Amino acid sequence: MPPSAEVPYGALDLMILKTLESMGPQHGYGIARRIEQIVQGSLALNQGTIYPALLRLEQKGWIASEWGTSENNRRARFYSLTRAGRRQLQTETEYWTRTVDIVHRLLGRT
Amino acid sequence: MMTSLRTLLSRLRGTFAGRRSEIELNAQIEAHLDALADDYVRRGVSPGEARAAARRDFGGIEQMKEACRDLRGIALINSIGRDVQYAVRTIARNPAFAVAAVITLALGIGANTAVFSLLDAVTLRSLPVRDPEHLLQVVKVEGTVRRGENYSYPQVRALSEQRDVFSGVFGAGSSPVITGAPDALQRADAAWVTGDYYETLGVHPVAGRLLSARDDQPGAPPAAVITEEYWNRLFSRDPAAIGRTIPIEGVPVPIVGITPRGFGGVHVGQIADITLAVSARPQLSPRDALYLGPGANWLRLFVRLQPDVMEAQAGTRLAVVWTQLATSRRPAGPALVSPRLAQFTLALVSGRTGSSPLREQFGPPLYALMVIVAVVLLIACANVANLLLARAAARQREIAVRLALGAARSRIVRQVLIEGMVLSSAGTILGVGLAWGGSDALIDLLSTGRMEPVLLDVRPNGHVLLFATLSAMATALCFGLAPALRASSTPCASLLNQSSSRIFGSPGRLASTLVVCQVALSLVLLTGAGLFVETLHNLRTLDAGFRHEGVLLARVDAARAGYSGADTVRLYDELLERARQIPGVRSASFSIITPPSGGGGISLSVGVNGHAPRQEEFHINGVSPGYFQTMSTPIVMGREFTSGDNEAAPKVAIINEAFAARELDGVSPIGQRVSLGSPPGTRGEMSIVGVVRDAVYETLRSGAPPTVYIPFAQSQGGNVTFEISADRGLAQVSSVVRSEFQRRLPRTIVDVRTLTSQVEATLVQDRLMATLGAGFGTLGLLLAAIGLYGLLAYVQSTRAKEIGVRIALGAGRARVMWTVVRDALALLTTGAACGLPIVWAVSRLVGSLLFGVRPFDPTTIITATAVLVAAGTLAGFLPAYRSASVDPMIALRHE
């Protein structure tokens, strides 16, 4: 399996937070679809894996959820970013940028 | 930090809200799959394929659910919860096993908890006061030996002046008072305390005020503090009780305050309903003025140190004050510490648990009982362990399957241990219930025959529940560990390959070992029970020198009823005359002391026939004519006292054989002259008119001391007890005596009891050990027999086929039975052999509790072994019979 197939640890959380920031409240399917569009097959992602991630983020208080109605009139649980989540996204973004930067420099691609 | 706390809380919530979250998650998954499938349909995929594609995209639903579950709950709690549920289900599937195990454990844990709660109440529990750890008691010691703990009122007052060392000093004595309306007099336990009692203890009133130094001044008006329980009993918690008066010794005393619930004074074993200042004592009863004097040592002494004072410093100060008190001459009378007491030094000991005469009396037996019940619990554990082993054997296949499917061995061990925990918890809950009732029965046993019942609070408290919980956990480990380890070490492949009937395998060395241990331990219990029963029997059948059957005792208090001097003697003679006229009364008498309740002996100079007197220890009693007849004490030589031996007549004495043997060197005693405490040849000299058989004086154990009896009329007088011997209708005679005597003795309570109950009261410790020792011995024997039966029955069931073959090949039924009985006997003899060294070691520890029997008594041990073997053989008989009745055809076809 090529190395690109794995989701780096913590990346999924960041992707979810970023998705919610840019798209506003979303249901699980919406988030999964959006992430899939972005990664465009470069990561092997089972859509189901976002649910444990969503639960984990909700337990940490970074996202909130409530039941609502989806665009095609289905009952769905909508997730939204909380204030703490926004802060966390910022911290995490900085962290990732720095990490990516370091890795880039290490690989001599600056 | 906040985040992890929030996560924890949300997980905890999730643990309990598991089911709802599960439903919500399912709904989300459904919605997600639907939406995914819709997308595929929109792209032109057929609905069926769209669904399959959606599933593929979604990934493993169950893994994802499990991941969510792990996140939701705290994984360990959840999985333990599942194990507990599983354990409860497995246990419930086999109710006979569950009931047997739980009852066995309940008996074991209940017995332990009951005895522990008594031990806790008597010796371990702190007084409900402020900072009990720093309360100290002052005791008298000689070297390292305790020589008493009672002090006189002036001594306590002298010590309480040492404020630079002690932040608080108080003395407390207990002595019942008579209270209630004149027509319904009753005794109440009372504490007499010095002024700083409550302040030093740090007890605060629930209503009113408590006694202070102002109440303990000469002439201060009497004031009573009552306990919350007494307030409840007498006044139904009426707040207006404060300021009301209660009659104490006929004097109305105002109630000034109420102490909090649970506080009953510093004397454990008594609950002082009423607390009064020592200085008020003469006002309530003028003849009690002597209790304020230097001659009456009756107060227990407690202190608290100043914060910066070390115990050693305080000890030095105590020694200085004690010496000062012993040497300084007072203007009137002798020093406050007598020369004899000055030989002792004062020592500080912990006062955390208060003081109790019960402790010395019941401490050793209670610790012995604790060991006994612990052994019972061990036997019970072995039974449950064997039950679990048998079940584990039956479940080996299940366990093998679980191991094969990848269950961790630790998980299997945990599962079996949790089953043990569930069983022991159920046993403990039932056991604590049993203990609750049981400890009351124990206290009744302690109180039998006592004038004042033993009052102890044995409601299950924190200590006791902690003890029960710890013993439950210890037992669960004890009986669960062996089966658990065995279960997990099962080699699964070999088991799965075997046919079902072979899985059971051999009964296991472990099970046999457990039964051998049970047998050994029950031999210890049975021998102990035998020794204690023998002790009680020896004491009861001991020739005490008097007969207690059919004799009533009536204790009268003439002084309290207002008699004094010659009036008292006349009253006694009159009462004696009346008693003799009551129908059914054979004879009657009175005496200063009635055995076996005499105090310690006295030490006086004894001079015989004008020889130089020697200081000797002996007992003395003043008795009326007819005493020896009433007590059925045989007169060996000479005569009994008559009414002629009055104060005007020449002084006479009757001695017992022990006194004659010690003092008279074989000279015929009659007519010899003896002087006690007075120089020979003076008026105090008495001539011996009779010799009586030795009679017990103080306790049955200590035997008969050298004793001198003098006519009551020639003694210094005092309160007496009447002995009334009746040949029929003791109860009826008793009520006649009570009403006849009561009429002449208003304002007092006439106590009528049987001499038998007075004798029994001195045997309370022995009765406790004999009754409970025998009870627990039987219980242990029963449990061991059940254990043996279980093992043999199990072996029999696994060997049915082999036995069938043997019977088919012509083995006689008797021979088949013998093989099972032989197994039983082998286990029994091995167990007994292992038990003997334990018996030898343990029985020596209880030597001090025995009487008339050696600790390692061969007869007792042989009897115990015989009982054990008989019970064991009986237990083996049923499996043996079943073996013999195996139908070979059925057994062989069964395979």
DSSP designation for B335: -
Residue B225 near residue B275 (C-beta atoms within 8 A) = yes
Confidence of residue B501 (pLDDT cuts 50, 70, 90): very low
- Pick the range with the lowest mean pLDDT from A41-55, B686-700, B746-760: A41-55
What is the phi/psi pair of residue B434, to 5°? -60, -45
Give the span between the Cα atoms of B519 and B683, in whole angstroms.
Answer: 70
Cβ distance of B61 and A28 shorter than 8 Å: no
Q: Which of B99, B107, B106, B103 is nearest to B775 (CA)?
A: B107
Whether A39 has its CB under 8 Å from any CB of chain B: the answer is no
Q: Which of A52, A56, A74 sits opposite B35 (nearest CB)?
A: A74
Q: Report whether pLDDT(B674) > 80.
A: yes
Residue B664's pLDDT is: 83
Give ipTM to 2 decimals: 0.85
Chain B hits for A51, CB-CB cut-off 8 Å, are: 25, 28-29, 64, 68
More confident residue, B490 or B630: B630
Whether A43 has its CB under 8 Å from any CB of chain B: the answer is no
Whether A70 has its CB under 8 Å from any CB of chain B: the answer is yes
Confidence of residue B493 (pLDDT cuts 50, 70, 90): low
Q: Which of B27, B32, B72 sits opposite A47 (nearest CB)?
A: B32
Cβ distance of A74 and B6 shorter than 8 Å: no
Q: Report whether pLDDT(B260) > 60.
A: yes
Cβ distance of A48 and B29 shorter than 8 Å: yes
What are the tens digits of pLDDT across the range B536-574?
Answer: 999 988 888 899 899 999 988 888 788 887 888 889 999
With b for 16 or more beta-carbon neighbours within 10 A and e for fewer, the B205-242 pattern comes to bebbebbeeebbeeebebbbbbbbbbbeebbeeeeebb
Q: Report whether pLDDT(B724) > 90.
A: yes
Q: What is the average pLDDT across B56-83? A: 76
Give the span between the Cα atoms of B149 and B299, in whole angstroms.
Answer: 8
With b for 16 or more beta-carbon neighbours within 10 A and e for fewer, the B6-42 pattern comes to ebeebbeebeeeeeebeeebeebbebbbbbbbbbbbe
Q: Report whether pLDDT(B778) > 60.
A: yes
Residue that the structure tokens 């409860």 belong to? B88
Alpha carbon of A91: minimum distance to chain B alpha carbons (Å): 15
Give the span between the Cα atoms of B160 and B317, in whole angstroms.
Answer: 12
Residue A4's pLDDT is: 44
Residue type, B154: P
Cβ distance of A59 and B7 shorter than 8 Å: yes
Residue B800 near residue B808 (C-beta atoms within 8 A) = no
Confidence of residue B61 (pLDDT cuts 50, 70, 90): confident
Cβ distance of B71 and A77 shorter than 8 Å: no
Whether B6 has its CB under 8 Å from any CB of chain A: the answer is yes
Residue B829's pLDDT is: 93
What is the phi/psi pair of residue A101, to 5°? -60, -50
For residue B286, give every residue at least 6 positions away whose Cβ sits within 8 Å of its Cβ, in sequence order, or none: none
Whether B11 has its CB under 8 Å from any CB of chain A: the answer is yes
Residue B688's pLDDT is: 93
Q: How many helices (H) and strands (E) does chain A have?
A: 4, 3
Residue B502's pLDDT is: 39
Q: Which of B6, B28, B61 sits opposite A77 (nearest CB)?
A: B28
Cβ distance of B28 and A72 shorter than 8 Å: no
Alpha carbon of A81: minimum distance to chain B alpha carbons (Å): 15
Residue A75's pLDDT is: 81
Cβ distance of A77 and B59 shorter than 8 Å: no
Q: What is the average pLDDT across B594-599? A: 74
Q: What is the average pLDDT across A63-70? A: 86
Whether A61 has its CB under 8 Å from any CB of chain B: the answer is yes
Q: What is the average pLDDT across B717-731? A: 88
Residue A23 near residue A34 (C-beta atoms within 8 A) = yes
For residue A110, give every residue at least 6 positions away whose Cβ sits within 8 Å of its Cβ, in sequence order, or none: A104
Residue that the structure tokens 């009780």 belong to? B241
The three-state secondary structure class of B361 is helix
- Highest-confidence range of B78-82, B91-95, B442-446, B848-852, by mean pLDDT? B848-852
Whether A65 has its CB under 8 Å from any CB of chain B: the answer is no
Tally C-beta pairs within 8 A across A and B.
71
Residue of A nearest to B3 (CA): A60
Residue B692's pLDDT is: 95
How many CA atoms lie less than 13 Å away from B159 in the CB half-sphere?
34
Q: What is the mean pLDDT of chain B?
A: 85
Whether A31 has its CB under 8 Å from any CB of chain B: the answer is no
Cβ distance of A51 and B29 shorter than 8 Å: yes
What is the phi/psi pair of residue B225, to 5°? -110, 135
What are the tens digits of pLDDT across the range B310-334?
Answer: 999 999 999 988 988 888 766 666 7
Instruction: Bin A26: left if φ > 0, else alpha if -120 < ψ < 50, else beta.
Output: beta
Alpha carbon of B64: minimum distance to chain A alpha carbons (Å): 6
Whether B29 has its CB under 8 Å from any CB of chain A: the answer is yes
Q: What is the average pLDDT across B642-653? A: 90
Whole-model pTM above 0.80? no
With b for 16 or more beta-carbon neighbours within 10 A and e for fewer, the B139-169 pattern comes to bbeeeeeeeebbbbbbbbbbbbebeebbbbb
Residue type, B227: T
What is the phi/psi pair of residue A80, to 5°? -140, 155
Q: Which of B24, B39, B71 sits opposite A52 (nearest CB)?
A: B71
DSSP string covering B683-709: TT-EEEEEEE-----S-TTT-PPPEEE
Alpha carbon of B408: minimum distance to chain A alpha carbons (Å): 25
